[in-house]
A and B are shown apart, each in its own frame.
Chain A
Amino acid sequence: MTDDVARGVCFHCGLPLAATACETLQGGEKRSFCCPGCAAAAELIHSLGLQAYYRFRTAAPDRVASEGSRYGQFDDPALQGGFVRQEGQGSVAYLDVRGIHCAACAWLVDRALQSVPGVSSSSVNSATGRARVTFDPKRTTLSSLLSRIAEVGYRPSPISQDAVGVDPDREMKNQLKRLAVAGFGMMQVMMFAVALYTGEFQGMDAVMRSYMRYVSLLVATPVMVYAGWPFYAGAVNALRSRGITMDVPVSLGLLLAYSASLIDTVTHRGEVYFDSVTMFIFFLTLARFMELVARRRCVNVTESLSRLLPALAHRLRADGSLEDVPVTLVKPGDSILVKNGEVVPADAEISKGSSSLDESMLTGESSPLERGAGDTVLAGSLNSGGPLECRVKSVGQATVLSSIVALLLRAQTERPKAVREADRMARRFLTRVLLGAAVVFVAWHFIDAARAFNATLAVLVVACPCALSLGPLIALASATSALAREGLLVSHPDAIEGLAGATTVVFDKTGTLTAGRVRITSIEPASNHDASRCLEIASALEAGTDHPLARAFSGRGRLTASDVSVRPGAGVEGCVDGKRYRVGSRAFALDGDSKGALDVVGDSAIVLAEEGRRIATFELADSLRPEASRVIASLRDKGLTCEILSGDALERVAEVARSCGITRFTARCTPKEKLERVRSLIAAGESVTVVGDGINDAPVLAGASVSIAMSQGSALAQASADLVLVQDSLKALPIAFAHARRCKWIMRQNMVWAATYNLVAIPLAALGWVPPWIAALGMSASSILVVLNSLRLNRGARASARDTAQPAPQLHRMAA
């Protein structure tokens, strides 16, 4: 804790201490805070006895907004009806809490809520950032819950009841239960099946055989009815709309095998196939469950984008006084005030004031943009400068943010062309098997009617598509866990297959190929000036600001500046050792002209001047990741084409492209243009992997064949990507491609095996030469062979990684 003081960072949020820093005494220790907001949050956390948060958190929280918003509006009964539901004795509200980065955050919010008198229960989900609170409306109010969350440093907003809708977890829970029933049932039935098949061999008395069959029937029935229900429902729906889906042959096969087994059990004749039935249901349910998990992740992404907006807006009344209103009530034409550190609630035009706005969440632009009266500000951008008075132009669905969300949604609904090969094959295969089974039945009916049913079922059993549907599943799962060990998380089941087939890799620049941190590339002092002395002077002046460009100067000297004044968007003026200096844009530094705004995009030179005379020029640039060129070279060795699509200026992109050896690049791309470029590549037959970060990349990422996000990017890009790099390094990329190809190769082996096996076994079964126990044994052996082959991927991970990996593992960067 004393370390924090020594390092000069805020005890609460870990940001460097700036001019607004303050110190307080807490728990007998002196702690430094960057702002009164953080100090107050830490004070409250301490007084609630929740200090454990500081020990267990794994990520630093956001800086606490200096001025706690007032949430009184939400207690208005008319408005509250939309947010609070009566449930038994208490009221239930769902809150969206922004700023939750780790499990410790969720814990803190949870405890903070429970410390409010009148709250009977609360639960906070760290994954979705949602809180559910039950409270006694007589003892507390919605606004006091919201204020308490705001006081410990998070930004809450109530979720309207319409948005909550049905419990989003409900479908998930039902599927999980079905999976459990199918799994338990399968295990039991398999056990009885082994006894039955052994009995077939060694002889088993008729009573025991019958008993085993009835027990199997007893277990298989709930699996058939409960776990299999979605398939029948799907099949009925498909038939009603005159279509055919996977559900139709599945249901038909299940019903046929089940009813035949049922009849055989009751009549003590023939064979039973309950094992095949339950196994089939289990694996299909497993596949559906995984699909559901993936789909839900997409929904969460879109939700978190919409969450960028604040809950409240400060609206200016006609008489100039302020009122806080929920953002949904803001209408075009209203005047609103956006304070420092707040998110702009709607697209608006600045009517008074100027400030720098961080639009990185929207456009991916890494440097804040200077905006003054008459300029447009976008909903979702962060005001990092002075207060702005704006006139609202568009709200809700009409905002740019909403259109990005819409773009993202559309890109998500358009499934990549690489539909899972195995699924398609299994479907085709199933249809043919069913047709074949029908043919077999008819043929045998004329040859030897007594053997017709058994031969038909032998075909169905021996041709159980487990080898097809199970193989890829396990191959992908093995590859997924192998990749996870290398620092790559797979979040979409198609990702590995897509990676294996990739032909082009598209990189975003900022934060992907570059580290996303600005640094000084060169210092040009005027004659008779010393470069390091100039740097120290500039650092002293820039120490008072928190502009991103100023960060490049931090920690470069021990000089202190006095009489510092900051001109937003232009530079800093102040005295060092009795001399007056200005540092900033050329125009400002030389002429004191603060109107010539610093164009942080095109010209990144910073000038230091003494009494209007230039004494040094600093060139700033974002540094290239050290491993970037090696990774690109390695990707090219694998036959992949690399390309850069960036929203940044041409010179910078060209520079980066040159230094890592990429010849194809496009600068100044909007998200839409990026998506179009990716689409046209895909249309030209390429399989495109996009590596990026930031929300602006989200539509592009979703439109790509495969998307990879850097974990340092915003949480959203992580969630919407097929793969997430957990290390702040590109090193794992070549390994991922090598691995995916290996996985694909093994999957192809499995396919070939399954095809060979089925081509041999089915005709034999159709001819009536395969007794049921051989059919079942063959089917199981085939499945096991496929599984074992797929599991080789797990073991072979290291081997394939060794060829390409750089040995030194990168330590996770500690949250500073």
Chain B
Amino acid sequence: MAILFLLIPVSLLLVLFGCWAFFWAVRSGQFDELEAASWDILADDPEPADGDSHPTERAP
């Protein structure tokens, strides 16, 4: 069980890192707008040559 004397501090460091990452995410506004970001990936694509064949195009 002596290994716990090492493992627990290691796990605490990981928790600390997790906390820091979360704080960073909050501070840099990652949670401010949860919807728009997902659109950016799609929208930044260059316009395909024929717009009609794009899979995300919605039928009217």
Taking the closest CB of chain A, its distance from the CB of B28, in whole angstroms, is 10
Whether B12 and A215, one on each chain, are in contact in the complex, defined by CB atoms closer than 8 angstroms, is yes
Q: How distant is the Cα of A188 from the Cα of B13 in the complex, in angstroms?
A: 12
From the candidates A52, A107, A208, A211, name the one contacting B45 in the complex (CB within 8 A). Answer: A52
* Closest A residue, CB atoms, query B60: A3
* Contact digits for B1-44, partner A, Cβ 8 Å, 1 yes 0 no: 10011001001100100110011001101011101101110110
Taking the closest CB of chain B, its distance from the CB of A233, in whole angstroms, is 20
Q: A173-B27, A177-B26 are in contact. Are A107 and B56 (CB under 8 A)?
A: no
Q: How distant is the Cα of A53 from the Cα of B51 in the complex, in angstroms?
A: 12
Q: A55-B57, A211-B4, A211-B5 are in contact. Are A184 and B19 (CB under 8 A)?
A: yes
Taking the closest CB of chain A, its distance from the CB of B37, in whole angstroms, is 9
Whether B12 and A55, one on each chain, are in contact in the complex, defined by CB atoms closer than 8 angstroms, is no
Q: How distant is the Cα of A208 from the Cα of B8 in the complex, in angstroms?
A: 12
- Is A604 positioned at the interface, with any CB of B under 8 Å from its CB? no
Output the residue of A55, A123, A176 with the most chain B CB within 10 A: A55
* Closest A residue, CB atoms, query B34: A127
From the candidates B15, B33, B38, B39, name the one contacting A184 in the complex (CB within 8 A). Answer: B15
Chain B residues closer than 8 Å to A176, beta-carbon distance: 26, 31
From the candidates A3, A126, A181, A814, name the one contacting B33 in the complex (CB within 8 A). Answer: A126
- Is A600 positioned at the interface, with any CB of B under 8 Å from its CB? no
* Closest B residue, CB atoms, query A222: B19
* Closest A residue, CB atoms, query B1: A208
* Contact digits for A1-17, partner B, Cβ 8 Å, 1 yes 0 no: 10110010000000000
Chain A residues closer than 8 Å to B47, beta-carbon distance: 49, 51-52
Q: How distant is the Cα of A176 from the Cα of B29 in the complex, in angstroms?
A: 12
Taking the closest CB of chain B, its distance from the CB of A754, in whole angstroms, is 31
Taking the closest CB of chain B, its distance from the CB of A498, in whole angstroms, is 27
Whether A104 and B56, one on each chain, are in contact in the complex, defined by CB atoms closer than 8 angstroms, is no
Whether B27 and A184, one on each chain, are in contact in the complex, defined by CB atoms closer than 8 angstroms, is no
Q: How distant is the Cα of A124 from the Cα of B15 in the complex, in angstroms?
A: 33
Taking the closest CB of chain B, its distance from the CB of A561, in whole angstroms, is 28
* Closest B residue, CB atoms, query A55: B57
Residues of B in contact (CB 8 Å), total: 33
Q: A104-B39, A176-B26, A180-B23 are in contact. Are A127 and B54 (CB under 8 A)?
A: no
Whether A56 and B43, one on each chain, are in contact in the complex, defined by CB atoms closer than 8 angstroms, is yes
Whether B12 and A177, one on each chain, are in contact in the complex, defined by CB atoms closer than 8 angstroms, is no
Chain B residues closer than 8 Å to A184, beta-carbon distance: 15, 18-19, 22
Whether B12 and A219, one on each chain, are in contact in the complex, defined by CB atoms closer than 8 angstroms, is yes
Taking the closest CB of chain B, its distance from the CB of A138, in whole angstroms, is 27
Whether A188 and B36, one on each chain, are in contact in the complex, defined by CB atoms closer than 8 angstroms, is no
Whether A169 and B32, one on each chain, are in contact in the complex, defined by CB atoms closer than 8 angstroms, is yes
- Is A218 positioned at the interface, with any CB of B under 8 Å from its CB? yes
Q: How distant is the Cα of A75 from the Cα of B11 in the complex, in angstroms?
A: 56
- Is A125 positioned at the interface, with any CB of B under 8 Å from its CB? yes
Assign chain A's interface to a size class.
35 or more
- Is A733 positioned at the interface, with any CB of B under 8 Å from its CB? no
From the candidates A55, A173, A188, A219, name the one contacting B56 in the complex (CB within 8 A). Answer: A55
Chain A residues closer than 8 Å to B15, beta-carbon distance: 184, 188, 219
Chain A residues closer than 8 Å to B57, beta-carbon distance: 55
- Is A106 positioned at the interface, with any CB of B under 8 Å from its CB? yes
- Is A767 positioned at the interface, with any CB of B under 8 Å from its CB? no
Whether A107 and B36, one on each chain, are in contact in the complex, defined by CB atoms closer than 8 angstroms, is yes
Taking the closest CB of chain B, its distance from the CB of A711, in whole angstroms, is 16
* Contact digits for A161-186, partner B, Cβ 8 Å, 1 yes 0 no: 00000000100010011001100100
Taking the closest CB of chain A, its distance from the CB of B33, in whole angstroms, is 5
Chain B residues closer than 8 Å to A219, beta-carbon distance: 12, 15
Whether A188 and B51, one on each chain, are in contact in the complex, defined by CB atoms closer than 8 angstroms, is no
Taking the closest CB of chain A, its distance from the CB of B59, in whole angstroms, is 8
Whether B8 and A215, one on each chain, are in contact in the complex, defined by CB atoms closer than 8 angstroms, is yes
Q: How distant is the Cα of A107 from the Cα of B38 in the complex, in angstroms?
A: 11
From the candidates B19, B23, B39, name the one contacting A103 in the complex (CB within 8 A). Answer: B39
Whether A208 and B4, one on each chain, are in contact in the complex, defined by CB atoms closer than 8 angstroms, is yes
Q: How distant is the Cα of A569 from the Cα of B28 in the complex, in angstroms?
A: 54
* Closest A residue, CB atoms, query B21: A180
From the candidates B32, B39, B52, name the one contacting A56 in the complex (CB within 8 A). Answer: B39
* Closest B residue, CB atoms, query A211: B5
Taking the closest CB of chain B, its distance from the CB of A753, in whole angstroms, is 33
Chain A residues closer than 8 Å to B45, beta-carbon distance: 52
Whether B42 and A56, one on each chain, are in contact in the complex, defined by CB atoms closer than 8 angstroms, is yes
Q: A177-B23, A180-B23 are in contact. Are A127 and B8 (CB under 8 A)?
A: no
* Closest B residue, CB atoms, query A57: B58
Taking the closest CB of chain A, its distance from the CB of B22, in whole angstroms, is 5
CB contact list, A200-236 vs B, under 8 A: 208, 211, 215, 218-219
* Contact digits for A559-579, partner B, Cβ 8 Å, 1 yes 0 no: 000000000000000000000
Taking the closest CB of chain A, its distance from the CB of B48, in whole angstroms, is 10
CB contact list, A231-290 vs B, under 8 A: none
Chain B residues closer than 8 Å to A49, beta-carbon distance: 47
* Contact digits for A798-816, partner B, Cβ 8 Å, 1 yes 0 no: 0000000000000000101
* Closest B residue, CB atoms, query A51: B47
Taking the closest CB of chain B, its distance from the CB of A345, in whole angstroms, is 30
Q: A177-B26, A188-B12, A188-B15 are in contact. Are A126 and B36 (CB under 8 A)?
A: yes
Q: How distant is the Cα of A107 from the Cα of B45 in the complex, in angstroms?
A: 14
* Closest A residue, CB atoms, query B16: A184
Whether B12 and A180, one on each chain, are in contact in the complex, defined by CB atoms closer than 8 angstroms, is no
* Contact digits for A97-136, partner B, Cβ 8 Å, 1 yes 0 no: 0000001101100100000000000011111000000000
From the candidates B22, B29, B58, name the one contacting A180 in the complex (CB within 8 A). Answer: B22
Chain B residues closer than 8 Å to A56, beta-carbon distance: 39, 42-43, 56
Whether A52 and B22, one on each chain, are in contact in the complex, defined by CB atoms closer than 8 angstroms, is no
Q: How distant is the Cα of A597 from the Cα of B39 in the complex, in angstroms?
A: 49
Whether B22 and A107, one on each chain, are in contact in the complex, defined by CB atoms closer than 8 angstroms, is no
Whether A814 and B58, one on each chain, are in contact in the complex, defined by CB atoms closer than 8 angstroms, is yes
Whether B43 and A107, one on each chain, are in contact in the complex, defined by CB atoms closer than 8 angstroms, is yes
Q: How distant is the Cα of A108 from the Cα of B30 in the complex, in angstroms?
A: 20
Chain B residues closer than 8 Å to A103, beta-carbon distance: 35-36, 38-39
Q: How distant is the Cα of A615 from the Cα of B33 in the complex, in angstroms?
A: 58
Taking the closest CB of chain B, its distance from the CB of A198, in whole angstroms, is 12
Q: How distant is the Cα of A126 from the Cα of B33 in the complex, in angstroms?
A: 7
Q: How distant is the Cα of A173 from the Cα of B32 in the complex, in angstroms?
A: 9
Whether B39 and A107, one on each chain, are in contact in the complex, defined by CB atoms closer than 8 angstroms, is yes
Taking the closest CB of chain B, its distance from the CB of A8, in whole angstroms, is 12
Given A184-B15, A188-B12, output 17 extra A-B contacts at Cβ < 8 Å: A1-B51, A7-B60, A51-B47, A53-B43, A55-B57, A103-B38, A103-B39, A104-B39, A107-B36, A107-B43, A127-B33, A173-B27, A173-B31, A180-B19, A180-B22, A184-B18, A211-B4
A/B interface sample: 6 pairs, CB < 8 A: A55-B51, A103-B38, A107-B39, A176-B26, A208-B4, A218-B12
Q: Which residues of B approach A to under 8 Å, CB–CB?
A: 1, 4-5, 8, 11-12, 15, 18-19, 22-23, 26-27, 29, 31-33, 35-36, 38-40, 42-43, 45, 47, 51-52, 54, 56-58, 60
List the 9 closest A-B pairs by CB distance, nearest first: A52-B43, A103-B36, A180-B22, A103-B35, A103-B39, A106-B36, A173-B26, A3-B60, A125-B33
